[in-house]
Amino acid sequence: MDRIDRSILRELQEDGRLTNLDLAQRIGLSASACMRRVRHLEESGVIQGYRAVIDPEAVGRGFEVLVSIEVRRDRETVEAFEAALQDIPDVIEAYRLFGSPGCLLRIAVADLAAYERLWIERLTSLTGVTEVNSQIIMKRVKEPRGLPVER
């Protein structure tokens, strides 16, 4: 993991479909050397995959909500709760936190009505949940552009 590897990561975060040839050119390496490095980064798990980034509005997911959830803090409850989250596709991200709230979700749905349905049907009925606090997102201030990679 040297400066060149980090350049590769920076470029592929910007454009995951760069051809190996273009990539090699940008970082000043021969195509074969470049490909060897990329392959190694992929196989070692540093590059976990490639994804298309799609417009939430276009697929009916333009309404986002942050949900703070308090769960009873014993191992079984927490594990069951976190497993249940995996089965709710509208939950885009989920974090377990120190302190309070114990958990934060980012949810993406079509509109307020869809969120109301989700809230009443699936969120409040999760076992062990003692508190649910929903905050509607007014604006995404900073788009996820991947992680900054030092030079």
Partner DNA sequence: TCTGAAAAGGCACATCC
Partner DNA sequence: GGATGTGCCTTTTCAGA
For a second copy, the closer of residues 62 and 120 by Cβ is 62
Q: How many CB atoms lie within 10 A of CB 31?
A: 14
Minimum CB separation of residue 53 from DNA in Å reads 18
| Site residues (vs DNA, CB under 7 A) | 4, 19-22, 29-33, 35-37
By CB under 8 A, residue 135 contacts a second copy? yes
With CB under 5 to 8 Å by kind, the binding choice for 29 among a second copy, DNA, none is DNA
Q: Are 135 and 69 in contact (CB under 8 A)?
A: no
Under rule CB under 8 A, residue 15 binds a second copy: yes
- 136: tokens are 């509607």
Give the residue with the Cβ less far from a second copy, 94 or 132. 94
**Cβ–Cβ under 8 Å, residues 11 and 27:** yes
**Do residues 67 and 132 make contact, with C-beta atoms less than 8 angstroms apart?**
yes
Could you tell me the sign of the dihedral formed by the alpha carbons of 25, 20, 47, 56, in that order? Answer: positive
Separation CA 75–CA 68 (nearest Å): 19
Least Cβ distance, residue 116 to a second copy (angstroms): 15
Residues forming the site for a second copy (CB under 8 A): 1, 6, 9, 12-17, 45-56, 58-61, 64, 66, 82, 85-86, 89-99, 103-105, 108, 135-142, 144, 146-150
